[in-house]
């Protein structure tokens, strides 16, 4: 099993440093997007904002938790879940591998 | 499961129950329209039939369907979030000096001040993130803290039974743990809802009709699983 080493375990990460607290990343395809803003309404992290007629996701300045609500509610499938969150130090993300859809 | 499915049927497609589990999303945009009372009663039944340690059933459910009460509760929690944000959010420009205090509090309450709830508290305090997201019904779960072994876990199991039952009826739910801020530091809400020993807040569920169609199977991180069989061990993901 994975572990978090002692010195990592006792370190509280700097919440302003994207190296230590890296939030999730999604991609919005503005070609496909119809501007319904449902994704913005269901985002638990206010990570999607209103641009001009289109929702905006600014990687690095949002606090995406990679829940997938935006991708699930998008009526035209314009949202891709790109990169999961990763935290360091006390909250080190361990035992997380690449995202996959439900497998049978 | 109906007695008719063969193992082959199951291997070909998801079962009804799996579909409910895999397509359930935490709903954060509810219609104003109230949920029929019978549905809430059925959801509570799903909670009642949850497994618990030694069948001790260490839960007490409280249903809020008064718009005004839900709004007032929200207001209390938002106010508490605003205070916490003022104390700990050192990410704001010119508030770097808060970091030593914030780090101390994070060390004392690491589960509550993990980067995710830290950000969420800040957003709720600023009014940029809702609490119950307009849900017309809130089910609160209180634990009997004398419960066998781990009453929080039993409350979680009962709650998830309710979330899945609700989803199977087309309702949306969202777990809202921040409700606990209304019960910490002051007794007003405990008195208002008659919460007394041995009950203590465990969690709450917002319940309502979702706006749009939020359900769907989306990608989710996989996790390593150690598998022991026939004297060997492999790790699958």
Q: Tens digits of per-residue pLDDT, B83-122? A: 999 999 999 999 999 999 999 999 999 999 999 999 999 9
Helix (H, G, I), strand (E, B) or coil at B135: coil
Sign of the CA dihedral with A38 first, then A44, A49, and A50 last = positive
Helix (H, G, I), strand (E, B) or coil at A25: strand
Q: Which residues of B touch A75 (CB under 8 A)?
A: 212-213
Per-residue pLDDT, averaged over B43-57, amounts to: 98
- CB contact under 8 Å between A71 and B91, yes or no, is no
Q: Which residues of B touch A16 (CB under 8 A)?
A: 90-91
* In contact, B67 and B33? CB cutoff 8 Å: no
Question: What is the domain partition of chain B in residue ranges?
Answer: 23-210
pLDDT at site B194: 97
Per-residue pLDDT, averaged over B164-184, amounts to: 97
Distance (Å, rounded) from C-alpha A96 to C-alpha A77?
A: 25
Residue B2 has pLDDT above 60, yes or no: no
Which option is the CATH number for A6-91: 3.30.70.20, 3.30.565.10, 3.40.50.2300, 3.90.550.10?
Answer: 3.30.70.20
Residue B28 has pLDDT above 80, yes or no: yes
DSSP state of B197: T
Token representation of residue A24: 């999730």
pLDDT band at A52 (very low <50, low <70, confident <90, very high): confident
* Smallest Cα distance from A96 to chain B, Å: 5
Of B103, B222, B226, the CB nearest to A12: B103
Residues paired with residue B225 on neighbouring β-strands, in sequence order? B236
Searching chain A, which residue's CA lies closest to the CA of residue B219? Answer: A101
- CB contact under 8 Å between A73 and B213, yes or no, is yes
pLDDT band at A12 (very low <50, low <70, confident <90, very high): very high
* In contact, B29 and B134? CB cutoff 8 Å: yes
Which of A90, A36, A104 is closest to B15 using CA atoms? A104
- CB contact under 8 Å between B28 and A87, yes or no, is no
* In contact, B116 and B123? CB cutoff 8 Å: no
Distance (Å, rounded) from C-alpha B181 to C-alpha B131?
A: 12
Task: Mutation target for A interface from B175, B212, B224: give the one with most A CBs within 10 A.
Answer: B212
What is the complex's ipTM, to 2 decimals?
0.89
Searching chain A, which residue's CA lies closest to the CA of residue B117? Answer: A45
> Nearest-5° angle of CA B173, CA B178, CA B182?
120
Per-residue pLDDT, averaged over B150-160, amounts to: 98
pLDDT at site B198: 97
pLDDT at site B215: 87
Alpha-helical (H) ranges within B126-181 are 151-168
CB pairs below 8 Å between A and B: how many? 114
pLDDT at site B5: 75
- CB contact under 8 Å between B222 and A99, yes or no, is yes
More confident residue, B215 or B20: B20
Distance (Å, rounded) from C-alpha A103 to C-alpha B149?
A: 34
End-to-end CA distance of chain B: 28
Considering the entire predicted model, what is its pTM?
0.93
* Tens-digit pLDDT profile for residues B188-234: 999 999 999 999 999 999 999 999 888 888 899 999 999 999 999 99
User: Which residues, at least 6 apart from A70, have a Cβ–Cβ distance to it below 8 Å?
Assistant: A26, A39, A42, A43, A48, A79
Searching chain A, which residue's CA lies closest to the CA of residue B120? Answer: A45
Of A12, A72, A85, the CB nearest to B218: A72
Residues of chain B with pLDDT > 70, as a percent, come to 98
User: Which residues, at least 6 apart from B94, have a Cβ–Cβ distance to it below 8 Å?
Assistant: none
What count of Cα atoms within 13 Å lies in the side-chain half-sphere of residue A33? 22
Residue A62 has pLDDT above 90, yes or no: no
Residues of chain B with pLDDT > 90, as a percent, come to 92
* In contact, B29 and B133? CB cutoff 8 Å: yes
**What's the per-residue H, E or C state across A35-51?**
CCCHHHHHCCCCCEEEC
Residue B11 has pLDDT above 60, yes or no: yes
Q: Which residues of B touch A102 (CB under 8 A)?
A: 14, 22, 217
- CB contact under 8 Å between B123 and A45, yes or no, is yes
Distance (Å, rounded) from C-alpha A25 to C-alpha A22?
A: 9
Residue A96 has pLDDT above 90, yes or no: yes
* Smallest Cα distance from B45 to chain A, Å: 27
Residue B164 has pLDDT above 90, yes or no: yes
Residue B3 has pLDDT above 70, yes or no: no
Q: Is B237 on the interface with A (CB under 8 A)?
A: yes
Domain B23-210 has CATH 3.40.50.40: no
Residue window 27-86, chain A: list those with CB within 8 Å of chain B.
Answer: 36, 38, 41-46, 63, 65-69, 71-73, 75, 81, 84-85
Cα-based torsion angle of the residue sequence B34, B37, B43, B44 in order, rounded to the nearest 10 degrees:
120
């Amino acid at each position: 099993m994975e572990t978090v080493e002692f010195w990592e375990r006792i370190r509280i990460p700097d919440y302003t440093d994207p190296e230590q607290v890296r939030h999730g990343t999604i991609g919005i395809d503005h070609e496909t997007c119809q501007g319904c803003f449902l994704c913005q309404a269901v985002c638990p992290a206010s990570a999607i904002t209103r641009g001009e007629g289109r929702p905006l996701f600014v990687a690095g300045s949002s606090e995406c938790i990679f829940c997938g609500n935006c991708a699930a509610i998008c009526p035209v499938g314009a949202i891709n879940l790109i990169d999961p969150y990763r935290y360091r130090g006390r909250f080190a993300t361990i035992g997380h591998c690449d995202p996959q859809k439900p497998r049978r | 499961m109906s007695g008719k499915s063969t193992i082959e049927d199951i291997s070909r497609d998801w079962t009804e129950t799996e579909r409910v589990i895999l397509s359930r999303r935490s709903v954060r945009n509810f219609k104003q329209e109230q949920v029929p009372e019978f549905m809430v009663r059925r959801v509570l039944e799903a909670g009642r039939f949850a497994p618990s340690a030694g069948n001790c059933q260490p839960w007490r459910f409280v249903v809020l369907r008064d718009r005004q009460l839900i709004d007032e509760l929200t207001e209390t929690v938002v106010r508490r979030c605003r205070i916490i944000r003022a104390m700990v959010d050192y990410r704001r420009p010119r508030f770097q000096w808060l970091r030593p205090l914030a780090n101390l509090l994070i060390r004392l309450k690491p589960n509550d001040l993990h980067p995710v709830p830290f950000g969420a508290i800040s957003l709720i305090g600023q009014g940029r993130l809702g609490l119950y997201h307009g849900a017309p019904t809130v089910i609160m779960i209180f634990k009997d803290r004398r419960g066998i072994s781990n009453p929080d876990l039993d409350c979680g199991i009962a709650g998830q039974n309710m979330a899945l039952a609700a989803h199977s009826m087309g309702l949306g739910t969202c777990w809202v743990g921040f409700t606990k801020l209304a019960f910490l530091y002051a007794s007003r809400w405990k008195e208002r809802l008659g919460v007394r020993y041995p009950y203590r807040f465990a969690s709450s569920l917002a319940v309502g009709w979702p706006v749009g169609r939020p359900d769907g199977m989306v990608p989710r991180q996989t996790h390593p699983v150690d598998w022991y069989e026939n004297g060997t061990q492999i790790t699958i993901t």
